[in-house]
Amino acid sequence: MTLVWSSLAVERLHEIAQYIFQGNEETAVQWLDTVLEQVAQLIDFPQIGRVVPETNREDIRELLYKNYRIIYRLDGEAVNLLTIRHGKQILPLEDLKPHQTDR
C-alpha cells in the first residue's frame, strides 16, 4: 500500500500540532510522532481503522488517537489520508471529497 496525504490532511496535522505546541512543546512532539506512527501502520494494515459512522462506507475509515480522528479512504493500492479532526468537531462531508494530494 502507498500512503497519500491530501493537502487538507497535511494542513490539519500542522494546525493541530501548532495548537498543542502552544501549550506544551514536548506534548506536541509526542503527539505528532504517535500520529505518524499510527498512520504508518496503514501501509501494512489498511483495514485496521473502523468505518466512519457518518458515511457507513467500507472505503472510508478512521483511526482514533487520543481525542482525534485520522480519516482516510481506501483506493485500490493507496491509502488516502483525507483529514484529521478533533472528535468533538462535526465532520464536514466536504472533508471526505478528493483533495489535492502531497505524497
Confidence at residue 96, expressed as pLDDT on a 0 to 100 scale: 85
Number of domains in the chain: 1
Query: Is it the case that residue 98 has pLDDT exceeding 80?
Result: no
Q: Could you list the residue range(s) of the whole structural domain that residue 10 is in?
A: 2-89
Higher pLDDT, 65 or 98: 65
CATH number of the CATH domain containing 62: 3.30.2310.20
Q: Comparing 97 with 86, which gets the higher pLDDT?
A: 86
Q: Contacts for 32-37 with beta carbons within 8 Å, 24 or more apart? A: 34/65, 35/65, 35/68, 35/70, 35/84
User: Could you tell me which residue, 22 or 99, shows the higher pLDDT?
Assistant: 22
Evaluate whether residue 100 is within a structural domain: no
What pLDDT does residue 100 have? 54
Work out the mean pLDDT of the chain and round it to a whole number: 92
Q: Could you report the per-residue pLDDT of 30-71, keeping only the tens digit for each?
A: 999 999 999 999 999 999 999 999 998 999 999 999 999 999
21: in domain: yes
Question: Which percentage of the chain shows pLDDT scores above 70?
Answer: 94
| Cβ atoms of residues 83 and 10 within 8 Å | no
Domain presence at residue 94: no
